């Protein structure tokens, strides 16, 4: 057996020379082995192993073809976001289904580490990028543009109309939630919001803070809530808003603050199913019943909400369809920027009911 060449990386031509066969034969051994006699194939593979040659680099072949049949999925969050966030999990399920059907691979790219962001984007061997964020991700968008590959954002927010995006009407969904609760007779409300921007901490926020929020989903959902409540004559200036990080600790902190008030809310508008379910558990631990004492509406339509006790009333966005549409936008990109608005559904389950007896329907919302 030939001795490995330790001074340089072995090439296909080195294997052909050592095996006494043509370069075409060596190529067939690795790419179309059925065309090569067994004894020749075995000899070529043995010599290749001895030289340290592992076969042609598939990236070169794919790049020469102008397509690698892989999609990059980028987020400003840590990579763990794809596996721990219920919304991300459902969207990723839709992406995976569409990618599997197309025979395409997936590459996860995190922008959480600013030092490696440029390298991650520039070196990803993909046909395009699905961006799980757009606001607050200016550098991510800039670097993606530099690759001159198709990309699509999973949000309709932002002022840059040259960015292709797929999303929902957040304000319209939030109005449905608020009108449902107000229609049941609730008059004391509170809002559990997602983050306003990257630089804030969680806690009580004002309407002015909401108006200046970087993240459009947070801003638009509060706007939608207040539009829906105002239609029932509710003083929205008196509705408390608590920003959370969509996690156990900050949602529980918000619940503690809200239900320490003399007149706590009888209805919670939560901007995600995840925070709604956390709030539900926290209230039940306080001895409060859902929905007899407090009604809760979520937003997203995740399996977690459907499996809650009681099942969560929620605004359902077509998360898997968003994922499938994003894959289609990369594998068959449209001419120019395209913004797709997908439909919402409002699903009433067991977490909402009329307010408890004694909660006056004419009372004002929870005071500031």
Q: Give the per-residue pLDDT at 5.
A: 42
Position 351 scores a pLDDT of: 98
Each of the 368 residues of the chain gets a pLDDT tens digit; together they read 444 444 567 888 889 999 999 988 988 888 788 888 999 999 999 998 888 887 766 555 555 555 788 999 988 778 888 888 899 999 999 999 999 999 999 998 877 666 777 788 888 889 999 998 766 667 778 888 888 889 998 886 666 778 888 999 999 999 999 999 999 999 999 999 999 887 666 889 988 999 988 888 999 999 999 999 999 999 999 999 999 999 999 999 999 999 999 999 999 999 999 999 999 999 999 999 999 999 999 999 999 999 999 999 999 999 999 999 999 999 988 887 788 999 999 999 999 999 998 664 443 333 32
C-beta of residue 132 within 8 angstroms of C-beta of residue 152: no
Contact call for residues 221 and 173 (beta carbons, < 8 A): yes
Question: What is the distance between the alpha carbons of residues 31 and 205, in angstroms, rounded to a whole number?
Answer: 61
* Structure tokens given for 279: 């709030």
pLDDT given for residue 6 in this prediction: 45
Q: What is the pLDDT of residue 63?
A: 55
The pLDDT of residue 365 is: 38
Which residues, 6+ apart, have CB-to-CB distance to 266 below 8 Å?
Answer: 186, 187, 188, 189, 293, 294, 295, 355, 356, 359
d(CA 337, CA 165): 8
The C-alpha atoms of residue 134 and residue 215 are separated, in whole angstroms, by 9
CA distance 31 to 39: 17
Tokens of 157: 């927010």
What pLDDT, on the 0 to 100 scale, is given for residue 53? 85
pLDDT given for residue 57 in this prediction: 62
Q: List % helix, strand, coil for the chain (3-state, nearest 5).
A: 45, 15, 40
Give the CA-trace dihedral at 193, 90, 84, 173, to 10 degrees: 0
Please give the full DSSP string across 226-275, using - where no structure is assigned. HHHHHTTT--GGGS-EEE--SSHHHHHHHHHHHTTSSS--SEEEESSHHH
DSSP string covering 304-345: HHHTSSSPPEEEEP-HHHHHHHHHHHHHSPPSS--EEE---E
> How far is it, in rounded angstroms, from Cα 91 to Cα 88?
5
- What is the CB neighbour count within 10 angstroms for residue 61? 11
């Amino acid at each position: 057996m030939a001795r490995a060449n330790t001074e340089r990386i072995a090439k296909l031509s080195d294997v052909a020379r050592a095996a006494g066969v043509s370069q075409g034969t060596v190529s067939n051994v690795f790419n179309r082995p059925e065309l090569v006699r067994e004894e020749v194939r075995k000899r070529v593979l043995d010599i290749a192993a001895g030289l340290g040659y592992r076969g042609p680099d598939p990236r070169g072949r794919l790049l020469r073809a102008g397509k690698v049949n892989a999609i990059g999925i980028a987020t400003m969050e840590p990579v763990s976001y794809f596996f721990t966030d219920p919304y991300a999990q459902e969207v990723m399920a839709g992406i995976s289904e569409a990618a599997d059907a197309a025979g395409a691979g997936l590459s996860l790219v995190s922008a959480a580490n600013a030092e490696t962001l440029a390298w991650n984007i520039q070196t990803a061997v993909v046909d395009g990028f699905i961006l799980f964020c757009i606001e607050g991700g200016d550098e991510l968008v800039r670097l993606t543009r530099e690759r001159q590959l198709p990309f699509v954002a999973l949000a309709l927010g932002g002022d840059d109309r040259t960015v292709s995006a797929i999303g929902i009407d957040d304000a319209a969904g939030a109005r449905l939630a608020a009108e449902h609760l107000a229609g049941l007779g609730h008059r004391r409300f509170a809002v559990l919001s997602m983050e306003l921007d990257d630089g804030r901490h969680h806690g009580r926020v004002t309407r002015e803070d909401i108006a200046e929020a970087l993240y459009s989903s947070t801003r638009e959902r509060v706007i939608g809530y207040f539009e829906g409540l105002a239609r029932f004559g509710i003083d929205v200036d008196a509705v408390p808003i608590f920003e959370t990080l969509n996690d156990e600790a900050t949602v529980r902190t918000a619940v503690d603050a809200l239900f320490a008030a003399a007149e706590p809310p009888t209805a919670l508008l939560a901007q995600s199913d995840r925070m709604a379910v956390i709030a539900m558990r926290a209230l039940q631990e306080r001895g409060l019943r859902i929905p007899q004492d407090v009604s809760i509406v979520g937003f997203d339509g995740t399996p977690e909400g459907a499996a809650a006790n009681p099942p969560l009333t929620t605004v359902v966005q077509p998360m898997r369809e968003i994922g499938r549409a994003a894959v289609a936008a990369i594998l068959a990109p449209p001419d120019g920027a395209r913004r797709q608005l997908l439909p919402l559904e409002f699903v009433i389950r067991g977490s909402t009911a009329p307010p408890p007896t004694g909660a006056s329907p004419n009372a004002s919302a929870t005071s500031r």
